[in-house]
Amino acid sequence: MTYVIGAACVDVMDRACVDECPADCIYVGERMAYINPDECIDCSACEPVCPVEAITTEEEVAPEEAAFVAENARFFTETLPGRSEPLGSPGGADGLGPIGVDTPYVHTYPAT
């Protein structure tokens, strides 16, 4: 049961979830944050601290936000714009800092 960050995070990025995550598996893009599904330990620490309720389990994602399940994974498995290879599972976001780009879907997602 992996946690997913959805549309409510786009252009908000409070980052309380990043600070709360004991697994350091929440990475910061340009417009939103992403949970690495391979690094998430399913502890749920991130969910209650999100002020916009953008975080939920993969199984509880609303149908209209189903694309964000794939986008959270795609952020790590596909080569992002301006990068030469996928992020993969680097073992923690702290060492990388903000990535500064998003998946093409999130990059073009309508502003709220």
Which domains occur in the chain, in start order?
A: 3-92 (3.30.70.20)
Name the band, by pLDDT with cuts 50, 70 and 90, for residue 2: confident
Q: Could you give the C-alpha distances from 74 to 11, 20, 52, 70, 94, in angstroms and in order?
A: 19, 23, 22, 6, 20
According to the model, what pLDDT value does residue 1 have?
66
Distance CA 30, CA 62 (A): 23
How much of the chain, in percent, has pLDDT values that exceed 70? 99
- pLDDT beyond 90 at 13: no
How much of the chain, in percent, has pLDDT values that exceed 90? 94
Contact, 7 vs 55, CB < 8 A? no
Report pLDDT digits (tens) over 57-109: 999 999 999 999 999 999 999 999 999 999 999 999 999 999 999 999 999 99
Report pLDDT digits (tens) over 80-92: 999 999 999 999 9
Contacts 24+ apart (CB under 8 A), 80-89: 81/107, 87/27, 87/36, 89/36, 89/38, 89/39
